[in-house]
Amino acid sequence: MDRVVDLDEAAALLVERVARWRSAGLAVGEMTWRDGEAAWPQPLETDRARVNDPDSVGLVVSDSAEAELSVVLFRGGWADVDFFDGLDDGGSLPASDIDSAADFAARMDQWVVQVFGDFGSTR
């Protein structure tokens, strides 16, 4: 898999947002890492130090109304983005052609607002 996005840089940009999301009432789970060198099925790790060759990093954000946003970013430049709004809407959001950690962070900001509303904005 090509290395388009630096996952450590993307994770650092997520960490910068976590305090703001939590102050907006959102719950943020631990980041999960997958090691590209691990034998199949590749386990998810919460300790970055246990991952030699990260090929994905994931995060789940939720609120008290049961809305949830699950994002897994792959170093190849795409993400699996799934959401449930806590009522009756859910699905996947488009997330391809991500060309940098900054691009991913900007999209993450948009996804948080889309799922949780303006109170979840990081701006």
**Dist. CA 71–CA 45, nearest whole Å:** 15
Residue 123's pLDDT is 37
- Give me the tens of pLDDT residue by residue for the chain, a chain 123 residues long: 688 999 999 999 999 999 999 999 999 999 999 999 999 999 999 999 999 999 999 999 999 989 999 999 999 999 999 999 878 889 999 999 999 999 999 999 999 999 998 864 443
pTM of the model: 0.92
Sign of CA dihedral 21, 59, 74, 9: positive
Task: Please give the distance of CA 4 from its chain centroid, rounded to a whole number.
Answer: 16
- For the chain, what are the domain ranges? 7-120
d(CA 95, CA 111): 10
Query: Buried (b) or exposed (e) across 81-103, using 16+ Cβ within 10 A?
Result: bbbbbbeeeeeebebeebeebee
